[in-house]
Structure formats: structure tokens, C-alpha cells
Structure 1
Amino acid sequence: MTGIKLPGDWIRGITIKQPWAACILAGAKTIENRPRAWSWRGWMLLHAGQQTDRAALRLPLVAHTIRGRDLAVGAVIGVARLAGCHQDPDGSPPCTEWAQSGLWHLEVADVQALVLPIPARGQLGLWKPTEDLIAQVLQQLPGLRP
């Protein structure tokens, strides 16, 4: 079965606090900061966690990016492709204005928003969504495939 992707094996979920999830969905934030490297490459459900980073709401970069956007929580709000993972070399400038020094940067591409958020429970780290959740996402994004 090498090389064959079983149902659900082609996609994972990532839970991100608001407003950071909305910044990714807006297309402005092209990296997600994490404490360790991830080997997964492929499609991810963007899940807005239950918690909101209130301090981040006051950052000008964030406030400008999310202006006029709903900040759904506890729901899948879109999909994106995890294209890579890197860490900025010591002493070099950050790869983007969203990058945090000393952390790993998940490179996010091909972001697609869902029209209607899908209530769901997330998890820490990369998680495997249920077949039902994938089916609900595919109802809104029928062209999404491995």
C-alpha cells in the first residue's frame, strides 16, 4: 500500500488561536510559529481554537489585517497547504514580519476560506480530522483533493 493515500490520510488539522487564524485566512500571515519542526506536508484544516489572544488584537499589524472580519472560534474556517517548515538562521532578519525568533515557521500556502465555519473540536499539534468533518469541508470546497 505504499504511496496509496487512504481516506483522510491526505489532510490534517491545525488549531490556531484567534486572531492569528484570521490573519492566515486573510492571506497576510504566511507562516505559523511553532516550538518544533513538523515533517507533514500537505493540506490542513484551519481550525480556530476556543481561545482568543486578546493582547494580539491590539497589535497594529493584526488589527489592520482582521479589520471587518469575523473571528469565529471553535470551528474550521478554511484550508491551507503546509508547504514547508524552517527556522531563521541566528542573527538573520525574520523571514516575514509575522515570524517569531527562535521558533519554527510553518510555511502556509494556497489558503481557501470556508463560506460557513464548521463547528469542530481541535487538538494540540497536528491532528487527523474525522471523515465526517472532511466531508463537511468538501461540501464547501468540492475541488479540494490530495
Structure 2
Amino acid sequence: MIRALTIRSPWSDCIALDNGKRTENRVWRTNWRGLVLLHAGLQTDRPALHLPHVARTIRGRDLPTGAVIGVARLTGCHQDPDGSPPCTQWAEPGRWHLELTDAQELALPIPARGQLGPWKPTEDLLAQVRQQLPGLRP
């Protein structure tokens, strides 16, 4: 089973590029594990564009919105213990950290409507993703 996850740009791009962002911050936890489509939401987190680690990652790139831009594997979900340092530079204290691995960027963004929380992509959307990533397996 494959799910999709809507993430505001530029965070979605930082994950899809697999340049070190393997943590997505959420206020909720999930027990679900498996392949997720990375959906760039309609909104852009403008202040994030000026963070040095984000700016380095996205330098010179178009940042599509309202589209699936990649895939990754959700392998875990945790919170850092109170008072401990963040698990990565991407982790926000007090949030649930979705652990993402094996990210692959799509060559062409696929326009799609997303929603909050993990959501089930349509068969048509999955077929379009598989056209770009024929070896994709849940």
C-alpha cells in the first residue's frame, strides 16, 4: 500500500532531493510505514527559504506546488526526549519526527490535489508516478 504526504515547499523539495532532510516534523504521530508520495502543497513556507541549510539545498531550483515531486519510504516516527538536542538539524523540538529514507525525485512534477495527513493516492496518480519510476515497489 502506498500513501501520499502533503508537505509545504521548500521542505518537500529538501526531502525529494535526498540531500540530508530525512525528518518531516508533524504535530501527530503515525504507526503507518511504507512508501509515500511526496506532494508539494499549494503553500510555500517563505521564511524557510532564507534558512542556510534550506537555501543551500534548493539553490537554483524551481519549487513546484500542488504536485507530487518524489517518493520516499516512511520507516519510523519518534519524538526527541525532553531536553535532548534535536536528532537532526531538520528536527523541531516537541514535534513528531517522521523518518524518511530512500527518497527519489521525479523528473517531472505531477499535478495533484493533496490533503492534511497521509492520504491515499488515486490509481491514476500512482500510474503516472510509475511511468517515471518503473522499478517502484511498495
Residue from 89, 99, 117 that aligns with 1:97 = 89
Number of equivalenced pairs? 137
Unaligned runs of 5+ in 2: none
Alignment of 1:52-63 (within 5 A): 52-63=44-55
Question: Corresponding residue for 1:15?
Answer: 6
Shift of 1:58: 1.0
The answer to whether structure 1 residue 46 and structure 2 residue 56 are counterparts is no
TM-score by length of 1: 0.92
Residue from 72, 88, 101 that aligns with 2:80 = 88
2:6/2:115 contact within 8 Å kept: yes
Separation in 2 of the partners of 1:75 and 1:127? Answer: 14
Q: How much identity, in percent, do the aligned residues show? A: 71
Deviations 1:5-42 (A, max 9, x none): xxxxx100000000101111121211000001111100
Where in structure 1 do 4 or more consecutive aligned residues deviate above 3 Å?
none
Question: Corresponding residue for 2:121?
Answer: 129
Deviations 1:62-100 (A, max 9, x none): 111111222010000000000100000011110000000
Unaligned runs of 5+ in 1: 1-9
CA RMSD of aligned residues (A): 0.7
Question: Corresponding residue for 1:71?
Answer: 63
Letter in 1 for 2:116: L
2:28/2:96 contact within 8 Å kept: yes
Letter in 2 for 1:137: V
Question: Corresponding residue for 1:140?
Answer: 132
SS of alignment partner, residue 94 of structure 2: coil
Separation in 2 of the partners of 1:24 and 1:133? Answer: 20
Question: Corresponding residue for 1:113?
Answer: 105
Shift of 1:59: 1.0
